[in-house]
């Protein structure tokens, strides 16, 4: 299957979903209409789940996201949760002074049945 790439903009994150199981969401996610933006990501995961790689790592490196995106990001996690036959990890990055982003990661960790790794970085 084809990889999914999105360059990122002032309101949307870089997306690199590779069929080798390396998935990246990086930057900021503050579009007014996040459903539209996240739809292709969910669809990609849908096809990926048909023959996933033995390991899948979703690396989330977000600087900002709005509440509209927060539901869509949850949908991405839920979709990932339903992928069987792959060892899945979420790497949740947050900047060292950003307790809101750490909290957001912990919220997802509590809702989603996937292993989360919290990674503190100097700058995203």
Partner 1 sequence: MATTTFDLYNLMERDKVLLAFKGTVTSDLLSSVFQIMESKMEDLNDSPATKKKVFNVLVECLQNLYHHIDDFDNENVIYEDSKGDKKSAIFSISRHEDHYNIVTGNFIYPKNVPEITSKIKYINSLDRDQLKAYYKEILGNGKLSKKGGGGLGLIDIAKKSRNKLGYSFKEIDENYSFFTLIVKILKK
Binding site for partner 1 (CB under 8 A): 10-11, 30, 32-35, 63-64, 66-68, 70-72, 74, 95, 97-98, 100, 103, 107, 110-111
**What is d(CA 66, CA 77) in angstroms, rounded to the nearest whole number?**
16
Residue 10, classified by CB atoms within 10 Å of its CB into exposed (0-12), middle (13-18) or buried (19+), is exposed
Instruction: Kindly tell me which of 14 and 74 has the beta carbon lying closer to partner 1.
Output: 74
Residue 97: DSSP 8-state = T
Q: How far is the CB of 38 from partner 1 (least distance, A)?
A: 9
Instruction: Kindly tell me which of 57 and 124 has the beta carbon lying closer to partner 1.
Output: 124
Q: How far is the CB of 111 from partner 1 (least distance, A)?
A: 5
**What is d(CA 84, CA 101) in angstroms, rounded to the nearest whole number?**
28
Q: How far is the CB of 14 from partner 1 (least distance, A)?
A: 18
Instruction: Kindly tell me which of 57 and 112 has the beta carbon lying closer to partner 1.
Output: 112
**What is d(CA 29, CA 114) in angstroms, rounded to the nearest whole number?**
22
Q: How far is the CB of 58 from partner 1 (least distance, A)?
A: 18
Residue 69, number of CB atoms within 10 A of its CB: 24
């Amino acid at each position: 299957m084809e990889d999914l790439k999105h360059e990122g903009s002032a309101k949307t994150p870089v997306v690199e979903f590779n069929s080798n199981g390396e998935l990246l969401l990086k930057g900021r996610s503050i579009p007014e209409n996040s459903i539209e933006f996240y739809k292709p990501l969910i669809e990609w995961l849908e096809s990926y789940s048909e023959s996933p790689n033995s390991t899948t790592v979703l690396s989330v490196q977000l600087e900002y996201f709005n509440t509209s995106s927060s539901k869509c990001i949850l949908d991405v996690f839920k979709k990932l949760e339903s992928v069987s036959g792959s060892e899945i990890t979420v790497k949740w990055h947050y900047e060292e002074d950003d307790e809101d982003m750490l909290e957001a990661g912990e919220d997802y960790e509590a809702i989603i049945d996937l292993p989360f790794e919290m990674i503190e970085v100097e700058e995203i």
